[in-house]
Amino acid sequence: MGLIIGTWNYPLMLTLSPLIAAISGGNTAVIKPSEMAAATADVLARRVPEYLDRGAFSVVLGAAPETTSLLEQQWDHIFFTGGTTVAKIVMTAAAKTLTPVVLELGGKSPAIVHSSADLRVAARRIAHGRWTNAGQTCTAPDYVLVAKDVAGPFLKQLQESVIQFYGEQPQTSADYCRIINLRHFDRLIGLLASGDIYHGGQYDRSDRYIAPTVLVNVSPESPVMQEEIFGPILPILQVGDVQEAIDFVNTRTSPLGLYVFTEDHAVAEKILESTESGDAAVNDCTLQPIIHDLPFGGVGNSGMGKYHGEWGFRTYTNARGILYHSTRLDLDVRYPPYDRNQSLRSVVAHLRA
């Protein structure tokens, strides 16, 4: 039996996708939805028993105490989606019983914009990846490393894309989301001072609204560059060349995603070969999880284990190697005492027979 601990930012997809993988492998499961997405959790608690065998699948509601109690039980597998702090608690609990885990986490996923990139397309796709769900997406580009010689035109294209997507007043856009709660809202507002606001910056606490915001003149040591943002703020940093971008990425923990925008195949390959990330994309971002032929998951601080499609089936099954061996040939050479001449005679005798 497996335990599936869901998260709040895509509370239906990121809870049921592991469940689908578990079912495909013939497993039973207990599902613990995130209490932060209370309405979705209530729906899951009502609907799962209606459509799935109650003896094989159940939903447990609650917060930290209930999750702690669940982790104290014996499981065959634990699947957790969330942040690194809670992931360490989950892994510590699993270690007591040597229970295998899959940890789907996050991290600061970089987007690298090379001077050869199609700047309009790069800006549109980065804007889409960053500000969908108000940036509350684990695979969203967390910051941009843009070549200095195209930084100005790229920023202009990025600003135009935001306006095209959400209008001059994003707060009135039906396509723009809100921050999950006030705790995260206040955390994000504190990050706005990490650089100069190139675009956006407006916010409304009563509405949990933060405008799509672009920061420039950001120091790598600033608060916004020390943690996963998980919100609608995008820092833009300039780099002199490809190697500087590679070095910047490699001095930080391995991200969940890495995105390269370039029309030069050699540049893309150099960056991919010189860096490490859970997943990667060239000339796009954030979309790789919906390609079910691709394994999805992190590496290092961004998680462990892969799922989606066949990879989910592999996660929830045990590949047991089984050998069937004939008894027709049983050479003495295999067994002691080991004497070279005796072994050769044994082989010859069997061959003659």
Q: Which pLDDT does position 274 carry in this prediction?
A: 98
In this structure, the answer to whether residues 123 and 254 fall within a common structural domain is yes
Contact 191, 223 (CB under 8 A): yes
In this structure, the answer to whether residues 209 and 264 fall within a common structural domain is yes
In this structure, the answer to whether residues 87 and 163 fall within a common structural domain is no
Look at residue 349 and tell me if it is in a domain: no
Strands (E) located in 232-272: 233-239, 257-261
Contact 75, 96 (CB under 8 A): no
State the catalytic residues. Answer: 104, 138
State the CATH number of the domain containing residue 67. Answer: 3.40.605.10
In this structure, the answer to whether residues 122 and 240 fall within a common structural domain is yes
In this structure, the answer to whether residues 171 and 245 fall within a common structural domain is yes
Look at residue 341 and tell me if it is in a domain: no
Look at residue 346 and tell me if it is in a domain: no
In this structure, the answer to whether residues 186 and 265 fall within a common structural domain is yes
Q: Which pLDDT does position 353 carry in this prediction?
A: 63
Give the global pTM.
Answer: 0.92
In this structure, the answer to whether residues 142 and 283 fall within a common structural domain is yes
Domain coverage including residue 168:
110-295
In this structure, the answer to whether residues 94 and 116 fall within a common structural domain is no
In this structure, the answer to whether residues 182 and 260 fall within a common structural domain is yes
In this structure, the answer to whether residues 148 and 196 fall within a common structural domain is yes
In this structure, the answer to whether residues 101 and 161 fall within a common structural domain is no
In this structure, the answer to whether residues 155 and 81 fall within a common structural domain is no
pLDDT averaged over consecutive 10-residue blocks of the chain (353 residues)? 97 96 97 97 97 97 96 97 95 96 96 98 98 97 98 98 98 98 97 98 98 98 96 98 98 96 98 97 95 94 95 95 94 81 65 67
Q: Which pLDDT does position 343 carry in this prediction?
A: 58
Q: For the chain, how many structural domains are there in total? A: 2
Q: What is the Cα–Cα distance from 279 to 296, expressed in whole angstroms?
A: 7
